């Protein structure tokens, strides 16, 4: 059930009237006393790559930088805003690392208000080993200090310190490989096929059904010598029977897309109303990472395109 708020929160209209602009996140890392930038692909779901093939989140950590501006910050306050005139509106980035069940808050290193507007500058570094798997960054507004005097037309505004009044932006970084984030189980049996997929009954893949084994699972049967189970070398960058795995994953993604109702597929493609880590949100991430267009109206061409894209993704993961 969607949470109902009894006070105004930030909307796209309020942000537009305040002259809000946001620079893209900049991601980098330090190596041998030098700073190197990371390339990013995607918008709401971001995959980072290093042109030098040095960076790993576990060994080099991650530095993030971001700048946000409000040309007319005063319009965020008062009866048409989200906090009282005398209140102080804070801006922060709430980070969440789901894999390690950690969360924290990043405050701006500089927050200045000048005649040309308000500028918030963020810069923060995650030490090696602090995060792993994923990182969600939510640019958030909150009540930093409350107003002592609340005007009559401001009584509908929240006036409690620490209360969130809106998430402006939300992005998720994916540090995992396509293979490792997929719910896969081994099941050895001489009476079962080489591979198969089991699905639960989905209620709402956009919000309540998560991209976990509870919703679906791909089973691989190592009874067969050709089974592409996670067989790795010392550096962990080799998959047994790579070509077969590409075909299996492509067919599995194809089955998942086929299970979606037309309105759910449209929401998945356009990133509309998707809850983080839901089936549709992870499928949207997958779509954003595709370099070859997915022809939705032609199933046979869709399956072919899935094979091409998954091969490209897996080869990138194994470099």
Q: Report the alpha-carbon distance of residue 302 to residue 316 in Å, rounded.
A: 21
Query: Containing domain of residue 291, as a range?
Result: 184-317
Residue reference for tokens 């919000």: 207
The answer to whether residue 5 is domain-embedded is no
Burial 85-114 (b: 16+ CB within 10 A, else e): ebbebbbbbbbbbbeeeeeeebebeebeee
Residues 312 and 194 reside in one and the same domain: yes
pLDDT per residue as tens, the chain (319 positions): 445 567 889 998 999 999 999 999 999 999 999 999 999 876 666 878 888 989 988 899 999 999 999 999 999 999 999 999 999 999 999 999 877 889 999 999 999 999 999 999 999 999 998 998 789 899 999 999 999 999 999 999 999 999 999 999 988 887 765 544 678 888 889 999 999 999 999 999 999 999 888 999 999 988 898 888 654 333 334 567 889 999 999 999 999 999 999 999 999 999 999 987 799 998 998 898 899 999 999 999 999 999 999 998 887 655 5
Beta-bridge partner residues of 140: 92, 167
- Flag whether 6 is in a domain: no
Overall number of domains in the chain? 2
115 and 253 belong to one structural domain: no
268 is a domain residue: yes
The arrangement of strands across the sheet holding 195-199 comes to: 184-186, 216-220, 195-199
Query: End of a domain among 119, 150, 174?
Result: 174
Residue 4 lies in a domain: no
Residue 128 in tokens = 């090696």
Closest by Cα among 148, 141, 143 to 166: 141
Pair 194, 309 in one domain:
yes
């Amino acid at each position: 059930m969607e949470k109902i708020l009894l006070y105004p929160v930030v909307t796209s209209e309020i942000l537009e009237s305040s002259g809000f602009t946001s620079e893209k996140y900049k991601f980098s890392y330090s190596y041998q006393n030098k700073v190197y930038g990371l390339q990013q692909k995607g918008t709401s779901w971001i995959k980072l790559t290093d042109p030098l093939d040095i960076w790993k989140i576990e060994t080099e950590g991650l530095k993030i930088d971001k700048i946000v501006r409000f040309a007319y910050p005063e319009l965020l306050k008062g009866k048409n805003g989200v906090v009282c005139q005398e209140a102080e509106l804070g801006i922060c980035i709430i980070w969440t690392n789901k894999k390690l069940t950690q969360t924290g808050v990043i405050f701006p290193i500089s927050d200045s208000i000048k005649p040309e507007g308000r500028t918030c500058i963020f810069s923060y570094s995650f030490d090696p080993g602090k995060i792993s798997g994923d990182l969600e960054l939510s640019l958030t507004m909150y009540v930093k200090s409350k107003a002592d005097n609340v005007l009559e037309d401001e009584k509908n505004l929240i006036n409690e310190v620490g209360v969130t009044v809106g998430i402006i932006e939300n992005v998720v970084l994916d540090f995992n490989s396509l293979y490792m984030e997929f719910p896969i189980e081994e099941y050895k049996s001489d009476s079962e096929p080489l591979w198969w997929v089991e699905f639960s009954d989905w209620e709402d893949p956009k919000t309540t059904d998560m991209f976990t084994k509870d919703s679906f699972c791909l089973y691989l049967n190592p009874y067969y010598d050709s089974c592409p189970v996670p067989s790795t070398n010392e550096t962990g960058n080799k998959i047994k029977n790579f070509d077969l795995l590409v075909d299996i994953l492509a067919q599995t993604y194809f089955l998942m897309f086929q299970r979606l109702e037309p309105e759910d597929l449209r929401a998945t493609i356009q990133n509309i109303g998707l809850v983080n880590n839901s089936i549709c949100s992870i499928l949207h991430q997958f779509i954003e990472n595709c370099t070859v267009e997915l022809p939705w109206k032609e199933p046979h061409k869709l399956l072919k395109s899935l094979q091409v894209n998954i091969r490209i993704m897996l080869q990138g993961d194994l470099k």
